[in-house]
Chains A and B, each alone.
Chain A
Amino acid sequence: QSEPRVTGLQLSGDEPIQIESDRLEVRDAEGIAIFTGNVNVVQGPTLLKSGKMTVYYATDGTAEPSAAGPDASRIERLEVDENVYVKTETQVATADKASFDMKTEVLVMTGKEVVLSDDGNVLVGCKLTVQMATGHALLDGCGQSEGAKGRVKMLLQPKSQSQ
Chain B
Amino acid sequence: MHSAHGLEPGAIGREEAAFLKARRYSRKVRVVKLALPLVGAALAIGFFGYSYLLSPSSVSIGVEGTAVRDGKLVMANPKVTGYTKENLPYTLTAMRAIQDLSQTGMIQLEEIDAKFPVDDNNWARVLARTGTYDDTGNTLDITSPVTFKTTDGMTANLKSAFINIEAGEMSTAEPVDILQDGSRVTADTFKVLDKGKVFVFEKRVRVMIEPRKRPDGTPRDEAKAGN
Contact, CB under 8 Å: A70 / B201: no
**Is B180 part of the binding interface, using a Cβ–Cβ cutoff of 8 Å?**
yes
Contact, CB under 8 Å: A66 / B154: yes
Q: How far is the CA of A124 from the CA of B147 in the complex (A)?
A: 52
Binds A, one of B10-18, B22-30, B82-90, B183-191: B183-191
Min Cβ gap A33→B in Å is: 8
**Contact flag A67-B212 (CB < 8 Å), given A14-B223, A18-B207, A72-B182:** no
**Is A15 part of the binding interface, using a Cβ–Cβ cutoff of 8 Å?**
yes
**Contact flag A65-B209 (CB < 8 Å), given A16-B225, A24-B201, A26-B199:** no
Nearest residue, chain B, Cβ from A69:
B183
**Is B220 part of the binding interface, using a Cβ–Cβ cutoff of 8 Å?**
yes
- The number of chain A residues with a CB under 8 A from chain B is 32
Enumerate A62-82 residues with CB–CB distance to B below 8 Å.
62-73, 75
Binds A, one of B31-39, B115-123, B129-137, B159-167: B115-123
- The 0/1 profile, CB within 8 Å of A marked 1, for residues 173-196 of chain B is 000001111111101001010001
Q: Which residues of B contact A99 (CB under 8 A)?
A: none
What would 25 A/B residue contacts be, using CB atoms closer than 8 Å? Answer: A14-B212, A14-B223, A15-B211, A15-B223, A18-B206, A20-B204, A20-B206, A22-B203, A22-B204, A23-B200, A24-B185, A26-B198, A35-B205, A64-B122, A64-B152, A65-B152, A66-B180, A66-B181, A67-B178, A67-B190, A68-B154, A70-B182, A70-B209, A71-B212, A72-B210
Residues of B within 8 A of A (CB): 118-119, 121-122, 150-154, 156, 178-185, 187, 190, 192, 196-213, 219-220, 223, 225
